[in-house]
A and B are shown apart, each in its own frame.
Chain A
Amino acid sequence: MASLDAEPDGAAPTYQVRDLSRVYGDGPAAVHALRGVDIDVPEGELIVVLGASGSGKSTFLNIIGGLDRATAGTVRFRGQDLHDASDAALTRYRRDHVGFVFQFYNLMPSLTARENVALVTEIARNPMDPAEALELVGLGPRIDHFPAQLSGGEQQRVAIARAIAKRPDVMMCDEPTGALDSKTGVRVLEALQNVNRELGATTFLITHNVSVGWMADRVIEFADGAVRENRVNANPVPASELSW
């Protein structure tokens, strides 16, 4: 495929995943991290991904986020196959469409909060102002601080600002609250929900925490490399009402 510059197409799903599997290693030592996953994800949903540790959540997210490649099966993003994409095309896909948030923030220690965000807006096609993105996550006053001067929750919110500032079509958040206490975690989730509503970005949110599922449009639960449950939540609650 030439490019992944697809536009949303009304009814079609953002992601169409078919018989996706991922095997690490080979022979008797092979680990089947994913074994035949089938999912359709509509545009704009906030999806909470649950499952025990080692069930394949991160592997799944990494493949649809263009960080890793499947061993078999297909992933279509807006109708275009990620599996056949070149490395350069995957890089462009990540740059133009995907925002990532990780458990361990992964900010550039040598750049300030604003600069960390600007790093991404500089190469984005239709970015927001870095200050605006930081405002969205409630970090306006700390804009010129370096990561070493920010708390864990603040660093994570910079990471979210960095992810949203390019107005991504999808957000991939792998245990974004894993390293945070409950109160800080809720603020981060609020920020994510806020962004999902305001930007309409399809958002994946991996968590260990079952109660986070209450804020989702859809909950997908992984078990042993396969989807055990895929249910729609008709009445998502605001993140601010969560606690654990």
Chain B
Amino acid sequence: MSARILGVLDRKVLRDLWRMRGQVIAIALVAAAGVSLQVSMGGLTVSLSETRAAYYERYRFADLWAPVVRAPLPLAMELRAIDGVASVETRITAPVLFELGGEGPPPSGFVHSLPQDGSQPAVNALHLAEGRLPAPGSSDEVVVLDSFASAHGLHPGDSLTLTLAGRRENVTISGVVLSPEWIYAIAPGQLAPDPALFGVIWMNEAGVAAATGMSGAFNEAVVRLMRGASEPAVRAALDQALAPYGAAGAYGRREQVSDAFVSAEIDQMRTMTRMMPPIFLIVAAFLVNIVVSRMVAVEREQIGLLRAFGYTPLQIAGHYLKFASVIALLGLAAGAALGAWLGDAMAGMLADYYHFPFLLFGLDPGGYALAGALALGAVMLGAAGAVRRASRLTPADAMRPPAPADYSRGLGARLIAFRQIDHQSRMVLRQLLRFPLRAGLTGAGLTASAALLVCAFYFADAVEVMVEEYFTLANRQDLSVHLADQRAMGALDALTARPGVMEIEPFRAEPVRLRFGHHEILTALTGVVDDPRLARLTGKRGETIAPVPGGLVLSRDLADRLGAGAGDTVLAALTRGARPELELQVIATPQTWVGSGAQMRLDDLNRALGEGDVINGAVLRMDAREAGALYAELKDAPAVAGMQFNAEARATFREIMDETMGTVIGAFILFACVIALGVAYNAVRVSMAERERELASLRVLGFSRGDVSYILLAEAALITLAALPVGLLAGAGLAWTLSLSMDSDVFRLPFMISPASYGYAGLILIMSVVLSGALVRRRIDRLDMVKVLKTRE
């Protein structure tokens, strides 16, 4: 018997859901947004770190890199004997230039040597995507990094011309590979990977040794640690063993460029996963609260009656919880589907930049379970208060019709004194003041939406500032040239004299360990000309901050990592020449959004190192019409190890930012609109349902549809107007938090929001509310005066 009657109640659940489908869909969408973000970003965070861990383990990714100038091969035995070292691979790593024909800027990159016997290296093994490793003993076969190969359509069997230590070589491609060292394949000092302009190849040791004059020697040891070994201890031991051979100092994964990028990506995704889904789920909970509260209020007599018939409070509670849980399940289903799709799309985007040999994004049952629990929990929590009220109604309540809403108490009643407020506005204000919690929650939802919108546009602003600062203000060169080794200052004279070259600035960059207090960082110390005009560190107003004699200009991010400020004296341990330890006074710590910099005067650096007046690179401004000829000349210059091109780098950076940030911004805007629509639509709908009778009466009294709409929509408009400034402020706060948490070694998000961003955010919010209003307005137009007035409240 009870089953049959429950069946009737269940049918009521379905009818209620259908009757309120607009609101149900709006809430389910908000929940779906939260679920999809949790599933996709949470899932991606997990799968990205797990994929990375598996990749590193299976391909024996190094824990430490120890570059030297030149060390004899037998030294490897000594390194293997260091306590905590599991395995060591010694290799030769050298810069290489590629010759691929065409007028454009020539690609550069690195060659790593492979064991002569054709076996995989013991550390940093390669994943073969195509072909095979170079044949044992061969000296003219190479394997090519897959991003570079696909950018140029290279396959096994193709031949390739390259310049290695000034020598032109013709080699044959035997395979295409992925490497755990080059998941994110980016040229040193670059901001964004450009697979066409940066390549990595591997060839047998003898071939590299012959070309670079490194026979019987190595210039880099890569080391894997034993489980539980102390990284600093091993690093110190390595540095000690390698010191006589020009060791620049071993560094770990944190300072390995590719891994640093992957880590930053994972961190950012984790931050977003923690911040975003809760916003949506909280909003969904609050919407459920409004809708179920309203239902319970309207149905109190029915509930009392059901209680009189013998239904238990639990059955009553169950009835409304069923209604809420269907909404949660709808949101969950839509969110899971959307999340799978979103996760796939985001993984596809990541796969363009991060190269793994296997699948990035898998459906993570744990993630779904978590998202499901969160969504259900949030919705149930939202319904809880109203459901409790429903289950506490007694049969006696059924007999007693609710008294007309009492507006005689509270702030609203005092409006009697204000004669100048018209009566429609009075109704609006009293409604607001009588239900301040609901108005507050609606306002909070709109605030969240506005905040998300501000954040979305803030990202675009931040990228704009970063690009402007780095490419226009700080780095005004067209081209940077890196030399294979240091050369006398005069090496550039020929270049300077060339007609295409408009301005040239030499530099000397050396690896350095900066120490201050307990902190130590590995970075590059650049000796620059006295008044740099091209590659500069700049102050707040864009002025050049040039190093003074004995002083160090340190970008803010490095200074922060050291815990040092202007006026402090830091230790700079250099690894060239006499391996001096310099005491340098920090004279300024200019903020850089992109990249870092530690600059001192070139003369000071050369004097300290005692190797004469030398340089190892230059930045230059050139006449674009002469570019082709200039490239050809530089490519063949034996000293040139690599080149970087500002225009190309800027375009690549832009492209990546447009794609990744564009997607993020689009998603933020979409989600913000979902929230605004869901919140505003529900608020106006509930208000309309509650006041249908009043509104119909007003129409009877001769008020026009416009007047009636005003009463209904002015409330939403007022809440929107109140929420807007708060939301914009909250958005600034959220953006500020994001700017702090998205602080990576490579870039920092500047906290700068343009007035236009606030404007767009406000406009979109207002438009969303107007759209919600328009949807409800149609119902006002169809309001049936006669029908509404015939019934008792």
A interface list, Cβ under 8 A from B = 58, 62, 67-68, 87-88, 91-96, 98, 100, 102, 104, 106-112, 114-115, 118-120, 122-123, 144-149, 162
> Separation in Å of the B428 CB from the closest CB of chain A?
9
> Separation in Å of the A28 CB from the closest CB of chain B?
22
**Residues on A with beta carbons closer than 8 Å to the beta carbon of B413:** 112, 146
> Separation in Å of the B487 CB from the closest CB of chain A?
86
Assembly CA distance A175 to B162 (angstroms): 101
Q: Does B3 contact A (CB under 8 A)?
A: no
Q: Tell me if A111 and B785 are in contact (CB < 8 A).
A: no
> Separation in Å of the A68 CB from the closest CB of chain B?
5
Q: Which of A91, A104, A120, A148 contacts B793 (CB 8 A)?
A: A104
> Separation in Å of the B616 CB from the closest CB of chain A?
79
Q: Tell me if A123 and B702 are in contact (CB < 8 A).
A: yes
Assembly CA distance A114 to B415 (angstroms): 13
**Residues on A with beta carbons closer than 8 Å to the beta carbon of B366:** none
Q: Tell me if B434 and A123 are in contact (CB < 8 A).
A: no
Q: Does B704 contact A (CB under 8 A)?
A: yes
> Separation in Å of the A17 CB from the closest CB of chain B?
18
Q: Tell me if B426 and A106 are in contact (CB < 8 A).
A: no
Q: Tell me if A110 and B703 are in contact (CB < 8 A).
A: no
Minimal Cβ-Cβ distance residue in B for A148: B406
Q: Would A111 and B789 be within 8 Å (CB), given that A91-B703, A94-B702 are in contact?
A: no
Closest 9 CB pairs of A and B: A95-B702, A148-B406, A110-B430, A106-B697, A146-B408, A94-B702, A119-B423, A110-B407, A109-B404
Q: Tell me if A120 and B701 are in contact (CB < 8 A).
A: yes
Q: Tell me if B786 and A92 are in contact (CB < 8 A).
A: no
Residue pairs across A and B with Cβ atoms less than 8 A apart, 28 shown, are A58-B786, A67-B700, A68-B786, A91-B705, A94-B702, A95-B701, A100-B701, A104-B791, A104-B792, A106-B700, A107-B404, A108-B694, A110-B431, A111-B407, A111-B426, A111-B427, A111-B430, A112-B413, A112-B416, A115-B426, A118-B423, A120-B701, A123-B707, A145-B408, A147-B404, A148-B406, A148-B407, A149-B406
**Residues on A with beta carbons closer than 8 Å to the beta carbon of B424:** 119
> Separation in Å of the B275 CB from the closest CB of chain A?
39
Residue from B693, B697, B702, B705 having most chain A Cβ neighbours under 10 A: B702
Minimal Cβ-Cβ distance residue in B for A110: B430
Q: Would A94 and B416 be within 8 Å (CB), given that A109-B405, A110-B426, A119-B423 are in contact?
A: no
- What count of chain B residues pass the 8 Å CB interface test? 37
Q: Would A110 and B786 be within 8 Å (CB), given that A120-B701, A145-B408, A146-B406 are in contact?
A: no
Q: Does B403 contact A (CB under 8 A)?
A: yes
**Residues on A with beta carbons closer than 8 Å to the beta carbon of B700:** 67, 94, 100, 106
Minimal Cβ-Cβ distance residue in A for B697: A106
Given contacts A88-B704, A106-B693, 15 further A-B contacts (CB under 8 A): A91-B699, A91-B705, A102-B789, A106-B694, A107-B697, A108-B694, A109-B404, A109-B406, A110-B431, A111-B426, A119-B701, A120-B701, A122-B423, A146-B406, A148-B403
Assembly CA distance A143 to B408 (angstroms): 13
Q: Tell me if A146 and B793 are in contact (CB < 8 A).
A: no
Q: Tell me if B702 and A104 are in contact (CB < 8 A).
A: no
Q: Would A123 and B786 be within 8 Å (CB), given that A110-B434, A145-B408 are in contact?
A: no
Task: Compute the total of residue contacts between A and B using a CB distance below 8 Å.
Answer: 95
Q: Would A58 and B407 be within 8 Å (CB), given that A91-B704, A122-B422 are in contact?
A: no
Assembly CA distance A118 to B416 (angstroms): 12
Q: Would A108 and B789 be within 8 Å (CB), given that A122-B422, A148-B406 are in contact?
A: no
Assembly CA distance A120 to B697 (angstroms): 11
Minimal Cβ-Cβ distance residue in B for A120: B701
Minimal Cβ-Cβ distance residue in B for A104: B792
**Residues on B with beta carbons closer than 8 Å to the beta carbon of A94:** 700-702
Q: Does B790 contact A (CB under 8 A)?
A: yes
Assembly CA distance A68 to B699 (angstroms): 12
Minimal Cβ-Cβ distance residue in A for B431: A110
> Separation in Å of the A111 CB from the closest CB of chain B?
6
Q: Tell me if A95 and B407 are in contact (CB < 8 A).
A: no
Would you give the 0/1 interface string for B739-756, flagging 1 where the beta carbon is closer than 8 Å to chain A?
Answer: 000000000000000000
Q: Does B252 contact A (CB under 8 A)?
A: no
Q: Tell me if A111 and B702 are in contact (CB < 8 A).
A: no
Residue from A100, A104, A144, A146 having most chain B Cβ neighbours under 10 A: A146
**Residues on B with beta carbons closer than 8 Å to the beta carbon of A112:** 413, 416
**Residues on B with beta carbons closer than 8 Å to the beta carbon of A104:** 789, 791-793
> Separation in Å of the A71 CB from the closest CB of chain B?
14
Interface residues of B in 409-437 (CB under 8 A from A): 412-413, 416, 422-424, 426-427, 430-431, 434
**Residues on A with beta carbons closer than 8 Å to the beta carbon of B707:** 123
> Separation in Å of the B349 CB from the closest CB of chain A?
52
**Residues on A with beta carbons closer than 8 Å to the beta carbon of B422:** 122
Q: Tell me if A148 and B702 are in contact (CB < 8 A).
A: no
**Residues on B with beta carbons closer than 8 Å to the beta carbon of A118:** 423
**Residues on B with beta carbons closer than 8 Å to the beta carbon of A145:** 408
**Residues on A with beta carbons closer than 8 Å to the beta carbon of B434:** 110
Q: Tell me if B703 and A146 are in contact (CB < 8 A).
A: no
Assembly CA distance A44 to B488 (angstroms): 115
Q: Would A148 and B786 be within 8 Å (CB), given that A104-B793, A110-B430, A111-B427 are in contact?
A: no
**Residues on A with beta carbons closer than 8 Å to the beta carbon of B703:** 91, 95, 123
**Residues on A with beta carbons closer than 8 Å to the beta carbon of B791:** 104
Q: Tell me if A162 and B786 are in contact (CB < 8 A).
A: no
> Separation in Å of the A143 CB from the closest CB of chain B?
10
Minimal Cβ-Cβ distance residue in B for A143: B416
Assembly CA distance A91 to B705 (angstroms): 9
Minimal Cβ-Cβ distance residue in B for A99: B701
Assembly CA distance A68 to B416 (angstroms): 35
> Separation in Å of the A5 CB from the closest CB of chain B?
13
> Separation in Å of the A225 CB from the closest CB of chain B?
16
Minimal Cβ-Cβ distance residue in B for A63: B786
Q: Tell me if B697 and A149 are in contact (CB < 8 A).
A: no
> Separation in Å of the B248 CB from the closest CB of chain A?
77
Minimal Cβ-Cβ distance residue in A for B406: A148
Minimal Cβ-Cβ distance residue in A for B428: A110
**Residues on A with beta carbons closer than 8 Å to the beta carbon of B408:** 145-146, 148-149
Q: Tell me if B697 and A144 are in contact (CB < 8 A).
A: no
> Separation in Å of the A62 CB from the closest CB of chain B?
5
**Residues on A with beta carbons closer than 8 Å to the beta carbon of B704:** 88, 91
Q: Which of A91, A96, A110 contacts B412 (CB 8 A)?
A: A110
Residue from B423, B704, B792, B793 having most chain A Cβ neighbours under 10 A: B423
Interface residues of B in 390-414 (CB under 8 A from A): 403-408, 412-413
> Separation in Å of the B486 CB from the closest CB of chain A?
84
Assembly CA distance A25 to B319 (angstroms): 35
Q: Tell me if B405 and A110 are in contact (CB < 8 A).
A: yes
Assembly CA distance A110 to B791 (angstroms): 20
